[in-house]
């Protein structure tokens, strides 16, 4: 049974609505002078360690965390945690 078969029929119209899915590897704060001094070989150090989970966002809302994986010649995300509503 597919996950969508359990939804009420009136939600079926929403299942094909496009969403923006993005993954955040990490972030950093830096002065504008450092940004302007960057070139092709520059490295930006992020605030997360290499094996930390990445955050998965749907329309800028955090929905899950996961691990970066390689699928054939592309990056992918293996979901390790679904973020629920705070109780």
Are 35 and 43 contacting, i.e. CB atoms less than 8 angstroms apart?
A: no
- Beta strands in 1-87, from DSSP E residues, in sequence order: 21-24, 54-58, 61-71, 74-82
Q: How far is CA 59 from CA 9, 63, 71, 83, in A?
A: 24, 10, 24, 14
The confidence score (pLDDT) of residue 1 equals 45
Cα dihedral sign, 73-64-52-27: positive
Q: Round the average pLDDT of the chain to a whole number and report it.
A: 89
Instruction: Tell if the pTM clears 0.85, that is, is over it.
Output: no
For 6-23, what is each residue's pLDDT tens digit?
Answer: 767 778 788 889 999 999
- CA gap 47, 34 in Å, rounded: 16
The domain spans of the chain are 3-82
Q: Domain 3-82 carries which CATH code?
A: 2.30.330.10
The confidence score (pLDDT) of residue 10 equals 76
- CA gap 60, 5 in Å, rounded: 27
């Amino acid at each position: 049974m597919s996950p969508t078969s359990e939804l009420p029929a009136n939600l079926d119209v929403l299942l094909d609505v496009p969403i923006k899915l993005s993954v955040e590897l990490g972030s950093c704060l830096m002065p504008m002078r450092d940004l302007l001094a960057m070139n092709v070989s520059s490295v930006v150090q992020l605030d997360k360690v290499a094996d930390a989970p990445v955050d998965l966002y749907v329309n800028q809302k955090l929905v899950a965390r996961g691990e970066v994986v390689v699928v054939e010649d592309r990056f992918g995300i293996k979901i390790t945690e679904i973020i629920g509503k705070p109780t």
